[in-house]
Amino acid sequence: MTTTGAAVDFTAAVGALNSARSVTVLCHIQPDADTLGSGLALAAVLDRRGVPVRVSFAEPAEPAAGLRTLPGMRFLVPPGEVPAEVDLLVTVDCGSAGRLGALADRLSGASRTLVIDHHRSNTRFGEINLIDPDAVSTASVITALLDAWGEPIDAGIAHCLFAGLATDSGSFRWVTPGTHALAERLLATGIDGAAITRTLMDTHPFAWLQMLSTVLASARLDRAAHGGTGLVAAFVLATDLAEVRQEEAESVVDIVRATAEAGIAAVFKEARPTDERRRWTVSLRSKDSGPGTGDGADVAAVAAGLGGGGHRYAAGYTTYGEPADILAQLRTALG
């Protein structure tokens, strides 16, 4: 049982993987469990088949602490060790080449490129594009690909895939038909789903609580945004992260989005200073308006207009400037 759409054709992707003599798998910058779990799962299968494979991402220097518990970390190499040329380059969970950061230049050195993703806004920047916008996670697409390829899923691979499935579905709050069946299938390999989810989503250092109190105090509500849908926004300054890793800011948006008076949530996260400009990664979330009230705001379209992308209800982009200016920029984009 998989969760991909029936119209997805895996033939070209399977053919490329079968003929590959060497493979580089690239994850997106600031990797989450879906991109890294998908990449490591695919790497484990290729390694089992005797194909030289490496996995990498451009930034930060190390993955989040919780992600380092995923099986297959031996395949992960720093960006400087990613060769300029490779037989097959695979990207996982990357909606555009820009999401590869500094490693985007490796695309031109690959004999073939395969893009595996589930974002509706994907720009289809590969030679082969395996995109299923109906899948709840890229891990779901990888699972269906392995089935089409005839490759079994052992416990180590299932661990990586479950990590992506659990996190991208918001601990199974946002699911599609087949999501729970896929989870049951992966759990049947003997993995501890509760422990995986707890490590990835429910474990933070004590300093996270102090950071959270400061950030939530910055929250602002704009009831008129997006035609009355409402916007709640909060800022995570670089100074707020002095005692915690950057990764701890990723959980903030799921707290802010609980605001009843706003259908759209935005969290602006300041990168640690590297130049004169202030750089921010912005996480957007919107809510399904519910039965009889119509769909919620399409934040993927908003993010795409600002150089990013994502899903209808979860998207993001990168911007530069001062807090007041970038909030005004978003407010204008929302209308």
pLDDT tens for 252-291 read 998 999 999 999 999 999 987 666 789 999 999 998 654 3
Average pLDDT over residues 169-182: 89
User: Which residue's structure tokens are 């899923």?
Assistant: 153
Average pLDDT over residues 27-39: 96
Is a pLDDT exceeding 90 seen at residue 93? yes
Nearest to 42 by CA among 64, 68, 14, 63: 14
User: Which residue's structure tokens are 């720009």?
Assistant: 123
pLDDT digits (tens, 9 = 90+) for 111-136: 999 999 999 889 999 999 999 999 99
Task: Identify the band that residue 292 occupies on the pLDDT scale cut at 50, 70 and 90.
Answer: very low
Q: Determine the pLDDT at residue 165.
A: 97
Please write down the long-range contacts of 72-81, taking CB distance under 8 Å and 24 or more positions apart: 72/40, 72/41, 72/43, 72/44, 72/156, 72/160, 73/40, 75/25, 75/39, 75/40, 75/43, 75/44, 75/47, 76/40, 79/103, 81/54, 81/56
Is a pLDDT exceeding 90 seen at residue 251? no
Is a pLDDT exceeding 60 seen at residue 166? yes
- What is the C-alpha to C-alpha distance for residues 283 and 299, in angstroms, rounded to an integer? 10
Nearest to 234 by CA among 246, 247, 222: 222
Is a pLDDT exceeding 80 seen at residue 3? no
Q: Determine the pLDDT at residue 170.
A: 85
Q: Can you give the three-state secondary structure of the chain, one letter per residue?
A: CCCCCCCCCCHHHHHHHHHCCCEEEEECCCCCHHHHHHHHHHHHHHHHCCCCEEEECCCCCCCCCHHHHCCCHHHECCHHHCCCCEEEEEEECCCCHHHHHHHHHHHHHEEEEEEEECCCCCCCCCCEEEECCCCCCHHHHHHHHHHHHCCCCCHHHHHHHHHHHHHHCCCCCCCCCCHHHHHHHHHCCCCCHHHHHHHHHCCCCHHHHHHHHHHHHCCEEECCHHHHCCEEEEEECHHHHCCCCHHHHHHHHHHHCCCCCCCEEEEEEECCCCCCCCEEEEEEEECCCCCCCCCCCCHHHHHHHCCCEECCCEEEEEEECCHHHHHHHHHHHHC
Average pLDDT over residues 192-213: 94
Packing angle of the helix pair 11-19, 138-149 (nearest 10 deg):
70
Q: Determine the pLDDT at residue 262.
A: 96
Cα-based torsion angle of the residue sequence 167, 173, 178, 184 in order, rounded to the nearest 10 degrees: 60
Average pLDDT over residues 292-296: 51
Average pLDDT over residues 1-24: 83
pLDDT digits (tens, 9 = 90+) for 182-198: 999 999 999 999 999 99
- What is the C-alpha to C-alpha distance for residues 181 and 136, in angstroms, rounded to an integer? 13
Q: For the chain, what is the mean pLDDT?
A: 92
